[in-house]
């Protein structure tokens, strides 16, 4: 037997014990939820390559636990605390992670195909190389997350918070980004074939592929002097945005968050601002003719003549 044959024979009988990322790749160990939670409560955090497929861990506290290379497919992890957990190369196919807290978690190369991440907090998580195809990320928080090279094919990112996200090389083909927040996001090298960007919001710092027209794709530019007349921006998060000099006539901003927004010299004629939060906003020089401010929060708002709202209490529920 020559050297190559000996090496092949050794690999065939030791395949399951080869080191992976500095750890010994033991066979996947089955574990039930009670055993896991008991060990976690006792201080154990290493659950490398455990099999927890289909288990119910709803609302479990598993922050900083290491589930790298584990099988959590179809697991119920809704509202679980997974802050700074290690889930690299973890199988999370079809897992229920609704409203889970994954802030700062390592999900690099994780398989999240078809996972339910509705309203999950993935802020500042690491998702490089992860597979999120057909995942539900509706209203998920992804601000500051690294999504370079991520597969988001046909994913639902409706109204997701993607502020400052890196999406270089990400596959967003057929993804739904309706109403998503794209401020400062880098999509310069993202794949946007048949991507739904209707109603998504971006600013002047958002980067798109060369030659791509976001306005033609149905996205809205949130910037000084922008023209947004007559569109529906109800229940939208616009805290601190700069829309000074913008045309916002007849726009629907009901129940939106415009706290600390710069609306100086903006045209707000006939706009609907009922129930909107305008606390701390600057309306100096804005045209409020016919605007609906019923139920709006105007505490600390700078009104068109430069005075604070304390001098304009009659506007709180009036048609100006």
The per-residue pLDDT for range 75-96, each reduced to its tens digit, is: 999 999 999 999 999 999 999 9
Indicate the domain borders of the chain. Answer: 222-320
User: How confident is the model at residue 2, as a pLDDT?
Assistant: 56
User: How confident is the model at residue 309, as a pLDDT?
Assistant: 86
| pLDDT averaged over every residue in the chain | 90
User: How confident is the model at residue 124, as a pLDDT?
Assistant: 94
Q: pTM of the full predicted structure? A: 0.85
Residues 6+ apart with CB under 8 A from 316: 293, 294, 296, 298, 309
Question: How many CA atoms within 13 Å lie on the side-chain side of 120?
Answer: 30
Residues 6+ apart with CB under 8 A from 5: none
Name the pLDDT band for 146 (thresholds 50, 70, 90). Answer: confident
DSSP strands (E only) in 48-149: 50-51
pLDDT tens digits, 214-272: 999 999 999 999 999 999 999 999 999 999 999 999 999 999 999 999 999 999 999 99
> Is 13's pLDDT higher than 80?
no
Residue with tokens 């913008």: 246
Single out the residue of 117, 110, 114, 112 nearest to residue 134, CA to CA. Answer: 114
> Is 314's pLDDT higher than 70?
no
> Is 7's pLDDT higher than 50?
no
> Is 63's pLDDT higher than 90?
yes
User: How confident is the model at residue 119, as a pLDDT?
Assistant: 98
Annotation: CATH topology of 222-320: Pectate Lyase C-like (2.160.20)
Residues 6+ apart with CB under 8 A from 111: 73, 89, 90, 91, 92, 93, 130, 131
Cα gap 135→249, rounded to integer Å: 37
User: How confident is the model at residue 21, as a pLDDT?
Assistant: 47
Higher local confidence (pLDDT), 16 or 134: 134
Two structure tokens written together for 110: 């994780």
């Amino acid at each position: 037997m020559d050297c190559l044959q000996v090496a092949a024979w050794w690999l065939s009988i030791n395949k399951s014990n080869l080191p992976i990322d500095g750890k010994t790749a033991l066979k996947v160990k089955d574990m039930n939820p009670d055993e896991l939670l008991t060990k976690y409560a006792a201080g154990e955090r290493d659950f490398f390559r455990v099999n927890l497929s289909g288990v119910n861990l709803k609302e479990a506290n598993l922050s900083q636990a290491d589930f790298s290379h584990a099988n959590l497919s179809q697991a119920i992890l809704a509202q679980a605390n997974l802050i700074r957990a290690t889930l690299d190369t973890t199988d999370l196919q079809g897992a229920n992670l609704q409203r889970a807290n994954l802030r700062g978690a390592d999900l690099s190369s994780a398989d999240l195909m078809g996972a339910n991440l509705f309203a999950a907090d993935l802020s500042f998580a690491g998702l490089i190389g992860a597979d999120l195809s057909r995942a539900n990320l509706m209203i998920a928080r992804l601000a500051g997350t690294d999504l370079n090279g991520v597969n988001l094919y046909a994913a639902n990112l409706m109204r997701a918070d993607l502020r400052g996200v890196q999406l270089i090389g990400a596959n967003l083909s057929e993804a739904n980004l309706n109403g998503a927040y794209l401020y400062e996001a880098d999509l310069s090298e993202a794949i946007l074939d048949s991507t739904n960007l209707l109603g998504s919001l971006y600013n002047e710092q958002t980067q798109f592929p060369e030659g791509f027209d976001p306005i033609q794709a149905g996205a809205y530019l949130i910037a000084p002097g922008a023209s947004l007349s007559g569109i529906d921006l109800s229940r939208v998060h616009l805290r601190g945005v700069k829309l000074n000099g913008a045309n916002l006539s007849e726009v629907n901003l009901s129940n939106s968050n415009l706290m600390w927004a710069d609306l100086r010299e903006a045209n707000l004629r006939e706009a609907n601002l009922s129930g909107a939060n305008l606390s701390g906003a600057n309306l100096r020089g804005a045209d409020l003719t016919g605007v609906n401010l019923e139920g709006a929060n105007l505490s600390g708002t700078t009104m068109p003549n430069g005075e604070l709202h304390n001098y304009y209490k009659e506007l709180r529920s009036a048609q100006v």
